[in-house]
């Protein structure tokens, strides 16, 4: 479908302004963009203030306890506003909504709609029920419909495209399978069609999304003549690679258990696939990995990284890691630090273990104290930053291809974009002849300044 047409929007009944706050991962960000698209198609317009908007939607995350608690404090303020302004529509979407369901209504009776992530594409239907005076809870398992509304995207250059929803893994710490449900892969044709639509609207970079993207296709039917699954992430990359106008393709998140040599070869062979891999390892100790039910060893992880670097020597590698998992000894924690030093990561997202509802590890007796969590997190963060700084140093003096995403919000004289390896890069926004550099341009930049997590330079 075409982008929301402003002429058409004026013929819809105006419904006031909306505000969406998004917590959590890229999956939630992609869902929020689709829900914003639905709201605009219904006649809502984007508001610029959370505290005066007519409809407020919190798209929530429950991966760790602090993410969940943040939502309750936001909700408290809105519930208070609703007591003096009954026309306010209050929506909680996403993973806290799925986890808490009905009990959220008991906790915050002012809520109009509680909807799990599988219902994001049904926001209009659910709001129609709210408009009839109901308080609605939509958390039942739902087959996710193909998008019928165009998302309202935050960026005009880089877009997210969901390829698989849900997760069938059972990592013992993780709440995602219980809130995102069973894996559901989209058909390659639908994915390609969405990418073609984005390309027509000027998008240049696509990130294919899934909680466990390597699982793509295992729920789709078909076997190749060679006896392989007909649909894998590798096949999908080949299938979507030639969409005209798309210059860069990324994907996340990879699971080391399923990351194949075939996939690495495809990334090396397909020119648009960027040399950046986000492959969480979670722990550098085999016994901890086993307790987490991750299904791989440290050795297997090392081999994946080696293979990536054999085929793409300059590839950036990033990861997620959890410290202070139940029972983690100091020696086991040191193995995680050692692995970080050995690999030399470009970036690592770190978190202290947080017990989550309906997950096995939350009930284990050997939980570690808050003090140990804080101590280990500080130690690992210092190492991660030092490693990132070392990895950044290799860019000094180099010439890098940058896809311009927009103006630097902290300095309007500068524009910013990313290297193929995903390093954020800042540089002056004007050419020598005074012409501005626009979002969406691919330019080459000589790198002069290197910091742990960003670079700066000048146009060549």
- CA contacts within 13 A on the Cβ side of 24: 29
| Phi/psi at 122 (5° precision) | -105, 15
Indicate which single residue of 180, 231, 294, 391 sits in contact with ligand F3S (rule: CB under 6 A): 180
List residues near ligand SF4 by CB under 6 A: 167, 169, 171, 174, 176-177, 211-212, 255
Task: Write down the least CB distance from residue 163 to ligand F3S, Å.
Answer: 15
Contact flag: residue 28 with ligand F3S (CB under 6 A): yes
Residues with Cβ within 8 Å of 420's Cβ and at least 6 positions away in sequence, in order, are: 248, 274, 275, 276, 400, 401
Nearer to ligand SF4, 18 or 160 (CB): 160
Q: How far is CA 262 from the centre of its chain?
A: 24
Task: Write down the least CB distance from residue 211 to ligand SF4, Å.
Answer: 4
Residues with Cβ within 8 Å of 130's Cβ and at least 6 positions away in sequence, in order, are: 89, 112, 113, 136
Contact flag: residue 39 with ligand F3S (CB under 6 A): no
Q: Is 79 exposed, middle or buried (0-12, 13-18, 19+ CB in 10 A)?
A: middle
Nearer to ligand SAH, 176 or 273 (CB): 176
Contact flag: residue 359 with ligand F3S (CB under 6 A): no
Nearer to ligand F3S, 251 or 427 (CB): 251
First-residue to last-residue Cα distance in the chain: 40
Q: How much of the chain is helix, strand and coil, in % rounded to 5?
A: 35, 25, 40
Q: How far apart are CA 448 and CA 457, in angstroms?
A: 5
The sign of the CA dihedral 30, 35, 36, 38 is positive
Contact, 36 vs 151, CB < 8 A?
Answer: yes
Task: Write down the least CB distance from residue 64 to ligand SF4, Å.
Answer: 12
Task: Write down the least CB distance from residue 446 to ligand SAH, Å.
Answer: 35
Q: How far apart are CA 112 and CA 104, in angstroms?
A: 11
Task: Write down the least CB distance from residue 38 to ligand F3S, Å.
Answer: 19
Where b means 16+ CB within 10 Å and e means fewer, 236-271 reads bbeebbebeebbbbbbbbbbbebbeeebbebbbeee
Contact flag: residue 308 with ligand F3S (CB under 6 A): no
Nearer to ligand F3S, 281 or 395 (CB): 281
Contact flag: residue 351 with ligand F3S (CB under 6 A): no
Strand partners, 38: none
Task: Write down the least CB distance from residue 320 to ligand F3S, Å.
Answer: 10
Indicate which single residue of 25, 164, 213, 337 sits in contact with ligand F3S (rule: CB under 6 A): 25
Residue 177 near which of ligand SAH, ligand F3S, ligand SF4, none (CB within 5-8 Å, type-dependent): ligand SF4
Nearer to ligand F3S, 318 or 408 (CB): 318
List residues near ligand SAH by CB under 6 A: 63-64, 173-174, 176, 211-212, 253, 255, 280, 282, 320, 322, 351, 353-354, 356
Interaction mask 83-102, ligand F3S, x per CB under 6 A: -----------xx-------
Residues that bind ligand F3S (CB under 6 A): 24-25, 27-28, 61-63, 94-95, 175-176, 179-180
């Amino acid at each position: 479908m075409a982008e929301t047409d402003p002429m058409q929007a004026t013929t819809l009944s105006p419904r006031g302004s909306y505000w969406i706050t998004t917590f959590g991962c890229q999956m939630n960000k992609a869902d929020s963009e689709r829900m914003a698209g639905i709201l605009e198609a219904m006649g809502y317009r984007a508001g610029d203030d959370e505290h005066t908007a007519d409809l407020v939607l919190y798209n929530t995350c429950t991966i760790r306890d602090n993410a969940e608690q943040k939502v309750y404090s936001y909700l408290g303020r809105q519930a208070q506003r609703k007591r003096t302004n009954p026309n306010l529509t209050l929506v909680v979407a996403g993973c806290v909504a799925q986890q808490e369901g009905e009990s959220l209504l008991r906790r915050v009776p002012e809520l109009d709609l509680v909807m799990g992530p599988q219902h994001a594409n049904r926001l209009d239907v659910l709001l129609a029920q709210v408009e009839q005076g109901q308080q609605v809870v939509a958390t039942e398992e739902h087959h996710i419909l193909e998008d019928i509304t165009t998302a309202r995207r935050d960026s005009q250059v880089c877009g997210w495209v969901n390829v698989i929803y849900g997760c069938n893994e059972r990592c013992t710490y993780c709440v995602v399978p219980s809130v995102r449900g069973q894996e559901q892969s989209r058909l390659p044709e639908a994915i390609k069609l969405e990418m073609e639509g984005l390309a027509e609207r000027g998008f240049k970079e696509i990130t294919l999304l899934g909680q466990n993207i390597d699982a793509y296709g295992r729920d789709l039917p078909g076997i190749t003549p060679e006896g392989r699954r007909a649909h894998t992430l590798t096949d999908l990359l080949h299938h979507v690679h030639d969409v005209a106008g798309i210059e860069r393709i990324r994907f996340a998140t990879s699971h080391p258990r399923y990351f194949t040599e075939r996939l690495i070869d495809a990334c090396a062979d397909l020119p648009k696939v960027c040399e950046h891999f986000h492959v969480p390892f979670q722990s550098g100790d085999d016994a901890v990995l086993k307790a987490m039910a991750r299904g791989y060893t440290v050795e297997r992880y090392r081999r994946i990284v080696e293979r990536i670097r054999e085929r793409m020597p300059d590839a950036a590698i990033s990861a997620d890691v959890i410290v202070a998992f139940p029972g983690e000894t100091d020696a086991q924690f040191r193995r995680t630090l050692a692995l970080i030093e050995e690999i030399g990561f470009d970036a690592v997202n770190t978190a202290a273990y947080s017990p989550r509802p309906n997950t096995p590890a939350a009930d284990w007796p050997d939980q570690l104290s808050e003090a140990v969590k804080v101590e280990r997190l500080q130690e690992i963060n210092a190492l991660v930053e030092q490693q990132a700084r070392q990895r950044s140093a290799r860019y000094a003096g180099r010439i890098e291809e940058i896809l311009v995403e927009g103006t630097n919000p902290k300095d309007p004289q500068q524009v910013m974009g990313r290297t193929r390896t995903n390093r954020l890069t800042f540089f002056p926004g004007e050419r020598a002849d005074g012409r501005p550099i626009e979002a969406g341009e691919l330019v080459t930049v000589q790198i002069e300044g290197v910091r742990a997590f960003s670079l700066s330079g000048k146009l060549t």
